Chains A and B, each alone.
Chain A
């Protein structure tokens, strides 16, 4: 084969040699090429899952857990305390209704609690008044917004609304909550 001149040297590269038809007896076998080394195992790189390396102290086992973002039925108790309401400082409050705007993610059982502290002026003591209403198997999973009214009666100062959903009792999505009642306009306690 004639020498191949480097570019810029004034020479001309020879015409390309006609290729041998693939599969013919004179085909040259492919040499080793790094790009043809196959990988050792591996994946396509899809199906991303949020994985958490986890060690279970009870079973002494190590494994991977995930948080399933398509399933809001948390496996543990969920509790949410709203702000303590000082509607009128030093005056008695009467809460008679809780309004909830919920998204229906599926059947859920949860409870609504209102707690208030009642001050007894005669002996300078306090009593904690509380009422809990359990809502069982609410929702069918239509993913729509729905209103729910809870009737109760709690009297005292600084009422506080709480929502509790026990472990595995269904998915709950709160859009809005409202505490409704009357506050005393008279003199302080």
Chain B
């Protein structure tokens, strides 16, 4: 130090920690923020090295790629921890701890024409003690946890959205939801025929602007000629395609690349919905990345072109905040569509609502951006040589 008078100083860093801040030069950020950090988690005003990640359950016996997971309670109040893969639907065996190698049992295999793409995360909906899901094929898959049994000859796994019962045509799609007892499929994939006839060839066709719903309370009835409560509508008055669906309270939100349409149930009749495009202009806040949408309870989070947004009963809120530029830099460098999950806890003893956004970069590098809802801060957890193939979720194991 140069000769002369010197004064003592202390610089203190203390929580609540505010996460990554790239919004200003490193000398101008808040002392509780970091210009760069890897693998830390804020915890009750502490800054901890993140929880250890380890293998908990083995893969499926046929080593098919897992595409999603969802638990549900059946009519007997028995809980099934279900997993979908590129080969079919599986469930966790109750005695998996006692019988290594017998962790999973198959519920149903897909036929050759129904095998989904491995990079399409499955969208689930639990409705009346049954599991429904779509995987980008022409099927709305259904299992009630009870079939097969001694009095039912039906297969366990059924494709239930037959929208044309005369020509036996099924519908599926990429997104799924439930609102006011209607099961709704969005961005549909439907069997179509150049020449109609129940035995004539069928081809899958994608309708990215289409919204199709079952009759109210009747998730197996999709043919409008059988029950006028079922139907479909094409959102042809908007410039883009459907990228997700979220239900908060009695309202549904249909996400598009350039906007959001609010879906309100108005009747049980032929046209049960009032669809209101939220923005006055042709282009507005929408969800650019289909699998970035995640919701838990009254909170939904998605990525638009300009920021990360939290959608709740109180409206929209930008949450990218001081980390936004770093997150969007990674999104801009991604080699596949980012995927996201919200989970309410890390375990039963560690409740902490967290949004986890996974971005796969070139060279096998993965950047997980975690948004800790209570602390309103983002942290980066990078790793390599792998990626998530479905939503992160708390799953019953006993």
The interface of chain A, by Cβ under 8 A from chain B, is 32, 34-35, 37-58, 61-87, 92-94, 103, 105, 155, 158, 160-161, 165, 171-186, 189
Known contacts A39-B78, A177-B14, then 19 further A-B pairs from the complex at CB < 8 Å, ordered by chain A residue: A39-B146, A42-B145, A43-B81, A44-B94, A46-B396, A47-B398, A53-B391, A64-B59, A68-B53, A69-B349, A70-B51, A71-B52, A73-B52, A75-B52, A92-B1, A94-B6, A155-B1, A175-B15, A186-B4
A32: chain B residues within 8 A (beta carbon): 151
Q: In the bound complex, do residue A87 and residue B50 qualify as a contact, i.e. CB atoms below 8 Å apart? A: no
Contact among A48, A51, A74, A175 for B39, CB-based, below 8 A: A74
Q: In the bound complex, do residue B63 and residue A172 qualify as a contact, i.e. CB atoms below 8 Å apart? A: no
Q: In the bound complex, do residue B79 and residue A45 qualify as a contact, i.e. CB atoms below 8 Å apart? A: yes
Q: In the bound complex, do residue B396 and residue A67 qualify as a contact, i.e. CB atoms below 8 Å apart? A: no
Interface mask (B39-65 → A, CB under 8 Å = 1, otherwise 0): 111010111111111111111100111
* 25 A/B residue pairs, CB under 8 Å, sorted by A: A34-B75, A40-B148, A46-B396, A47-B397, A50-B393, A50-B395, A53-B69, A62-B59, A68-B52, A68-B53, A71-B51, A79-B38, A82-B13, A83-B13, A92-B1, A92-B2, A93-B9, A158-B27, A160-B26, A174-B46, A175-B47, A178-B10, A179-B11, A184-B2, A184-B6
Q: Count of chain B residues with Cβ under 8 Å from any Cβ of A?
A: 105
Q: How far is the CB of B218 from chain A (nearest CB, A)?
A: 17
What number of residue pairs across chains A and B have CB atoms under 8 A from each other? 304
Contact among B7, B52, B85, B105 for A72, CB-based, below 8 A: B52
Answer yes or no: B93 CB below 8 A from chain A CBs: yes
Answer yes or no: B328 CB below 8 A from chain A CBs: no
B50: chain A residues within 8 A (beta carbon): 67, 72, 74, 78
Closest 4 CB pairs of A and B: A45-B79, A47-B398, A186-B4, A42-B78
**At the interface, is chain B mostly helix, strand, loop or mixed?**
strand
Q: How far is the CB of A42 from chain B (nearest CB, A)?
A: 4
The interface of chain B, by Cβ under 8 A from chain A, is 1-15, 25-27, 29-31, 33-41, 43, 45-60, 63-69, 71, 73-81, 83, 85, 91-94, 105, 107, 145-152, 156, 343, 345-350, 364, 382-383, 385-398
